[in-house]
Structure 1
Amino acid sequence: MMGIPFVGSAADTAPTNGKTESIVLGMGCFWGAEKRMSEIPGVVHVEVGYAGGDAPKVDYEDVLGEERARRRGDTTARNHAEVVKVTFDPAKVSLKTVLIKFWENHNPTQGDRQGNDVGSNYRSAIYYTSEDQKAVAIATRDAYQAALTKAGYPAITTEIAPLKNYNRAEEYHQDYLKKNPNGYCGLGGTGVAYPQAGAAENPQPPQLKAEDLHFDRQLIVFEAKDCPFCKQFKADVLDGWQSEVPIVATLNPHAPEGWTLDKALFATPTIVLFEHGKEVSRYTGYNGDKDRFWKWLGYQLLTPEQRKIAFEQGTERPFTGSHLDEKRPGTFVDPITGAPLFRSDTKFNSGTGWPSFFNPVPGAIVLKEDNSYGMHRVEVISASSGIHLGHVFDDGPPPTGKRYCINGDVLKFVPDKS
């Protein structure tokens, strides 16, 4: 094997005594690529960096500045790509297996982009250090191209070239997703398995069937295996789901057959709202901010009048809102989450022009001091979604003496079953 040396720091070029081998790969944003490639058994180290550009030495700001200059037409120099340097033990994992995981864990057909990240610095690339590595790269590319073509994907755009001007990235970029858990996980690329990996080894999860879903309105959560953010979303949101909007989770990154996504997915979890089989909105990534997720969904479900109340602390005019005269046995629920807020047997006629209650469902609301408009009041907020409901006053009837003055337009009434 005739090697092509790495160009970088002394640590980057330290001898390995023939026990390990390294290859440099570009898969878009290097944070997710580092995580994915480090999960391969037999990989001993993954480092993020920059490679493939004309400048011998660069840092993160240099790469971003070079890309801006390219877009302005101020330079024709080749920019560096964000890359991962994958070091592995050939006795435990072959280069072919490493490259199979490379092909499967990103979309190599997108040119100078990966998902929402656009620019030549996000290009797909294999930078080899020997002719043997080059041969394996080309062979696996051709095999994967056949699988992609069969699945309807265009030609692979991955740059396969000798390693040039490798630079280790800044320390804060190393192990980024371990240091910053409020991130997202890669989707695993196109969902097309490498043909020789075998369906038994890497079966693609089944695609959702449109006939099993709600055509008028359906939420789909696109997940990935071993994604902690997906697990957190499930624990925080999915496990307690009460919203009237049907929701289903899938490990397959494609829309149900006959349905359409606006663009390819690039992170998990991604929650997509479909109406009549077409994507109308999506929420990408989850970092534990439930209120932000419910606000996104609320903007899809609520009318402009409801949104003004829910998200801008607005108020409906007295005697104009919904449910003022509702007296049937039942529960008033959050219009987004479906979580119970008030029971009808705690409702009373206050004469104020707004639905009034003397007691909420336990744990359903949060109270917050409100000093707006030169007044001192106590705001009532839905605990499940964080939306504004109204205010509470101390002039209600027994047994609590409280009057929860609530905007009827941000309540949904669910009658008791007979």
Structure 2
Amino acid sequence: MYKITSLLLGLLLTAPLAAMAGTESIVLGMGCFWGAEKRMAEVPGVVDVESGYAGGDAKRVGYRDVLSLERAIQRGRSDQRNHAEVVKVTFDPGEVSLKEVLIAFWESHDPTQGDRQGNDVGSNYRSAVYTNASEQRAVAIATRDAYQEALTAAGYGPITTEIAPLKHYNRAERYHQDYLVKNPNGYCGLGSTDVAYPGEPQRPKPAVLSAADLSRERQLIVFEAKDCPFCERFRAEVLDDWSSEVPVATTEATEAPAGWELGKALFATPTMVLFEDGREVSRYTGYKGDKARFWKWLGQRLLTPEQRRIAFEQGTERPFTGSHLDETRPGVFVDPITGAPLFRTDAKFKSGTGWPSFFQPVEGAITLHEDNAHGMRRIEVRSASSGIHLGHVFNDGPAPTGKRYCINGNVLAFVPD
């Protein structure tokens, strides 16, 4: 008897409470439930937010089941209704009304995106309100219609949010609960419309960049957002040491400068947009530490076909045909994409090989990699900042290092002192 009582007590202490006295709950879908949980937990009067799955045909599901079914749906192999990632919001009606909870819901995401939310695409990321009673449904519809008026006035399309009775709710796995509390730098794909609910104070809009302060010929603009850990990471890993010849600017606004043109609406942050002649020519959305991938994206636009062949396909220019072979002015040879210093002129020497040769790189400027291609064993030289292929290093150079860094001149840019 003692063991049974202890077991029951343990279950009560570890399992989430189904209901709390004097509270009410509603289930909301607004994309990835990690960010939804964080947003709704910040609403005063909300006492608990739980991540889960709801609205699908299956009675019992887990994370892998939802992802697996979504893949089948996308490939046309299933016509089953998938569950959406949702949060069960429990609140104290004495402190916050259902209407106020739903206002926070509408303002915290973009309910016009259909089966997606930002970078997250699929029916499992749809916007949804799953109700427990007809009274909740009435409030959900009333607030939706009111918010639609505000969105329409701001230029947004129709709300796509599913409003339906709650069906087949499943609590998500333990590691999904309080995810962003446990992982402060974790992914949060939510991005609101910045449109206030009617009668609510309008959030101050971030100032749009002035075209007069930018380079119309070529300009990179990084579109950021507040409380965006990936924006902060991109700043720390890329922007803080920016030395590329491409001018860069950052903004929390979602619009292009006056007279400039975005190719399509922004839907996630950070989004890096390259403009030429005031028009978007390419964009890179999201950042998770893949620095070399970002620089490759930018390099595809900046470099010539021959430079791309060398930089990204480990190509080699023909001897005596590349740039900078006879460059002897004091200065520094830099990465053509990032602008980071690679070699100084005072480390350059005439090797007679037909390629610019150096006996020493700038400290920390390169990385070395084993290369067994073409039946040879060589050491490849790459730029540490962008990861592009530069050439190879051999042990037949002059003192003091005895090294010969044999570099393709076409993937060097020169900056005189």
TM range (shorter): 0.7 to 0.9
Counterpart residue type for residue 80 of structure 1: H
Q: TM-score, normalised by structure 1?
A: 0.86
Contact kept in structure 2, 1:186 and 1:224, CA below 8 Å: no
Distance in 2 (alpha carbons) for counterparts of 1:91 and 1:218: 52
Contact kept in structure 2, 1:192 and 1:204, CA below 8 Å: no
- More deviation, 352-361/111-120: 111-120
Distance in 1 (alpha carbons) for counterparts of 2:416 and 2:190: 41
- More deviation, 241-250/363-372: 363-372
Given candidates 138, 143, 149, the residue that maps to 2:141 is 138
What residue number does 2:18 align with? 14
Distance in 2 (alpha carbons) for counterparts of 1:102 and 1:273: 33
Distance in 2 (alpha carbons) for counterparts of 1:365 and 1:222: 30
Change (3 A) 1:94 1:338: farther
Change (3 A) 1:379 1:142: same
Unaligned runs of 5+ residues in structure 1 are 1-9
What residue number does 1:164 align with? 167
Distance in 2 (alpha carbons) for counterparts of 1:229 and 1:308: 31
What's the CA shift string for 1:321-366, capped at 9, x where partnerless? 1111222222111111111111222222211111112222222122
Q: How many residues align?
A: 404
What's the CA shift string for 1:40-74, capped at 9, x where partnerless? 44433322222223443334455456554597486
Report matched runs for 1:393-412 at 5 Å: 393-412=394-413
Distance in 2 (alpha carbons) for counterparts of 1:58 and 1:30: 15
Contact kept in structure 2, 1:187 and 1:268, CA below 8 Å: no
What residue number does 1:98 align with? 101
User: 1:78 Cα shift?
Assistant: 4.3
Counterpart residue type for residue 38 of structure 2: K
What residue number does 1:196 align with? 199
**Cα RMSD over matched residues?**
2.9
User: 1:151 Cα shift?
Assistant: 1.3
User: 1:215 Cα shift?
Assistant: 2.3
Q: TM-score, normalised by structure 2?
A: 0.86
User: 1:135 Cα shift?
Assistant: 4.0
Counterpart residue type for residue 33 of structure 1: A
Contact kept in structure 2, 1:27 and 1:83, CA below 8 Å: yes
What residue number does 1:110 align with? 113
User: 1:108 Cα shift?
Assistant: 1.1
Contact kept in structure 2, 1:261 and 1:278, CA below 8 Å: yes
- Identical residues among aligned pairs (%): 75
Contact kept in structure 1, 2:31 and 2:189, CA below 8 Å: no
Distance in 2 (alpha carbons) for counterparts of 1:381 and 1:185: 33
Report matched runs for 1:8-407 at 5 Å: 14-18=18-22, 20-64=23-67, 68-69=72-73, 72=76, 75=79, 78-176=81-179, 184-199=187-202, 202-407=203-408
Counterpart residue type for residue 45 of structure 1: D
Change (3 A) 1:39 1:272: farther
Distance in 1 (alpha carbons) for counterparts of 2:21 and 2:190: 36
What's the CA shift string for 1:277-330, capped at 9, x where partnerless? 333332222222322222222222222221222222221111111111222222
Change (3 A) 1:273 1:34: farther
What's the CA shift string for 1:99-132, capped at 9, x where partnerless? 2332222221233333454444332211222444
User: 1:414 Cα shift?
Assistant: 1.3
Q: 2:199 is paired with a residue of what secondary structure?
A: helix
